[in-house]
Amino acid sequence: MQIGNFSIAPGAALAPMAGFTDAACRRMAARHGAVYTISEMVSAKALTFGDKKSARLLRRGEDTPGPYGVQLFGAEPETMGQAAALIADKDFDFYDINMGCPAPKITSSGAGSKLMLDPELAGRIVAAVVQNGAGRPVTVKIRAGWDAQHVTAVEVAKACEAAGAAVIAVHARTREQMYQPGIDLDIIRQVKQAVSVPVLGNGDIVCHEDALAMVEATGCDGLMVGRAALGDPWLFGRIAAALRGEEIPPMPTLTQRMEAMRTQVYELCEEKGDWAAMPQARSQALHYMHGLRGAAGLRRACCALEHFEDLDALIERVYRENPLGE
């Protein structure tokens, strides 16, 4: 599959997740085989106001392999175009447009999943970013629709493709469904049949079997994985192996998990400083505790992390409570 001039190997991309997919998280995913990564979503309007915090969220981070996209949200084509032009000299490979966020603070401004109600506006937004993007590809992340009465993924995907989108990723739920119940594989299949650009399937992939089942049921060109990759970046390697028909790599050992967590939190602290990094480090660490003995106590210990050094006490406790690995 291609994104513009980038050839993307069979596998899964890391889904953008605000509050989680910082540079350290993306680097960890890319090192373990995420076929590309995307920033946390950033407000186009805030960028045009010169907001430094928003601009910082877009930094690629050193030594991050693989194509990297920056995700913008907004409801006005003009502002989206301005923001695209403003960041065009930064270090990234493609733009991604958020048409899936269900949060009221985003949809109330007409952005995120609210765009699923207006395919024509969605197309104009893509066109504005394409026109101002200095030749970089523009990808789009959509939902199935707004609600059961407005399952608009096919119309929105067609409008985005006509406006120049290079890839469409589909989170197969409506906005009304937020993150429950299960996904609707058929909507991914419909989008795949309706457009000729590559289509990525997204939603509830937690193991390589889910990935294979999604490809089989929908014919999608690639996959995007979010929550299940937190604390388990090795999932990307297992999915890539499954798609290539190769032997599935073994699950990581407890030592590998703890080392990955330590590296990720270390790099997060290097990037942001302890004070800004530790709240995010707590939530990242929680994901690395998945399935361990003594989970309740370990979760409390994660929530109490204040400095990078506290992580070593957490890791010692993990080994103490899980003497045989997991």
Cα angle 125-129-130, degrees, rounded to a multiple of 5: 110
Residue 226's alpha-carbon distances to 122, 131, 171, in angstroms, are 23, 29, 10
Question: Does residue number 145 form part of the binding site for ligand FMN (CB under 6 A)?
Answer: no
Question: Does residue number 31 form part of the binding site for ligand FMN (CB under 6 A)?
Answer: no
- The candidate with the shortest Cα–Cα distance to 201, out of 220, 187, 180, is 220
Question: Does residue number 213 form part of the binding site for ligand FMN (CB under 6 A)?
Answer: no
Nearer to ligand FMN, 40 or 161 (CB): 40
148: phi then psi, degrees, rounded to nearest 5: -60, -25
* Candidates 9-17, 125-133, 190-198, 291-299; binding stretch for ligand FMN (CB under 6 A): 9-17
- The candidate with the shortest Cα–Cα distance to 163, out of 180, 144, 140, is 140
Binding residue for ligand FMN, selected from 37, 139, 202, 218, defined by CB under 6 A = 202
Nearer to ligand FMN, 303 or 313 (CB): 303
- Whole-number minimum distance, CB 158 to ligand FMN, in Å? 20
Number of residues that bind ligand FMN (CB under 6 A): 22
Q: 13: part of which helix (H) or strand (E)?
A: strand 12-14
Question: Does residue number 19 form part of the binding site for ligand FMN (CB under 6 A)?
Answer: yes
Q: Which of residues 105-144 bind ligand FMN (CB under 6 A)?
A: 141
Helices (H) and strands (E) counted in the chain, each on its own, are: 14, 10
Q: Return the amino acid letter for 303.
A: C
Q: 96: part of which helix (H) or strand (E)?
A: strand 94-99
Nearer to ligand FMN, 19 or 104 (CB): 19
- Is 101 catalytic? The answer is yes
Write down how long the chain is.
326
Binding residue for ligand FMN, selected from 37, 54, 98, 190, defined by CB under 6 A = 98
* Candidates 13-21, 48-56, 118-126, 186-194; binding stretch for ligand FMN (CB under 6 A): 13-21
Mask for 154-193, x = binds ligand FMN (CB under 6 A)? -----------------x----------------------
Which is the catalytic residue, given 25, 101, 160, 269? 101
Q: Quote the tokens at residue 96.
A: 């991604």
Do 258 and 48 contact (CB within 8 A), yes or no?
Answer: no
Q: Quote the tokens at residue 9.
A: 């190997």
Nearer to ligand FMN, 205 or 258 (CB): 205
Q: Quote the tokens at residue 252.
A: 């990581």
Q: Please list the active-site residues.
A: 101
Residues that bind ligand FMN (CB under 6 A): 15-20, 40-41, 71, 98, 100-101, 141, 171, 202-205, 225-228
